[in-house]
Amino acid sequence: MKKLLLLASILAAFTVSSAMAAAKFSIVGTADLAMPSYKDMVDSSIAPGTLSGTTSGKAQFGGGLLVEFPLSNRVGLELGALYMTRKYDATMTFTPADGSAAQSLDVTFKHPYIQVPLMFNLHLNKFLTLGLGGYLNNGIGQISETRSNVEEKNSYDEAEFKRLDYGVAAGLGIGIPMGSKVAFIIDARYNMGLAEQYSPKADSTLAMKQKNNDVTGFVGFRFGANK
């Protein structure tokens, strides 16, 4: 039994070391454009009417590391850790049912987060890669809210945001070989959030559905055999 366990340990260590040796590592800079969506907005504290919300993203920059493990000659499993920031202008508009003038409130939200992507990459050829998978985001720090040029920072609970976000992702990448083991990479991804982000307090009168959507660009260098 001990010999079998020892043999299994040796085989596992060999498998892991072989996978690491064949893995491709990437150092990337990121640009994120946030486009959250608001739906089914209702506030029981205001007069009858229609409440809606629109957003406009502002590019924010970050970076991180990616590692891809080969599953076959053309398919790889990519994991990573990325530091990014989401920033966007949100406009809440209330249109009274009695036909009087609409009222609006503008707020700029900003909050950093750590993203762990999990992508299955299909290498179409030596240069092009198609990626499908998902992501997990965890908000860090505080939520910044700016109204009329006055910034206020709150915890996620105070701002009625959830820290955790997850969703599906799709992307297209270009790799330009710069030698046998180095490539310059450009990647664009669309992340579609599946988790509700609004976390109302017990006494909140506002009800709505809020989900994150992001377009993210990557620029960096990949290290590993260019096949």
Count of domains observed in the chain: 1
For residue 62, tell me if it sits in a domain: yes
Q: List the domain range (segments joined by +) for residue 183.
A: 23-223
pLDDT tens digits along 149-192: 999 999 999 999 999 999 999 999 999 999 888 999 999 999 99
CATH number of the domain enclosing 142: 2.40.160.20
For residue 16, tell me if it sits in a domain: no
User: pTM of the full predicted structure?
Assistant: 0.85
Identify the helix (H) or strand (E) that includes residue 59.
none
DSSP string, 183-222: EEEEEEEEEEE-S--B---TT--EEEEEE-EEEEEEEEEE
For residue 6, tell me if it sits in a domain: no
For residue 11, tell me if it sits in a domain: no
For residue 2, tell me if it sits in a domain: no
Q: What CA–CA distance (Å, rounded) separates 27 from 224?
A: 12
For residue 160, tell me if it sits in a domain: yes
Per-residue CA distances from 18 to 13, 22, 23, 138, 160 (Å): 8, 6, 9, 31, 46
For residue 10, tell me if it sits in a domain: no
For residue 4, tell me if it sits in a domain: no
Place of tokens 């991804």: 189
Q: What CA–CA distance (Å, rounded) separates 185 from 169?
A: 18
- Mean pLDDT in each 10-residue stretch from start to end of the chain (227 residues)? 43 41 90 95 88 95 97 95 97 90 93 97 94 97 95 95 97 93 96 95 91 97 83
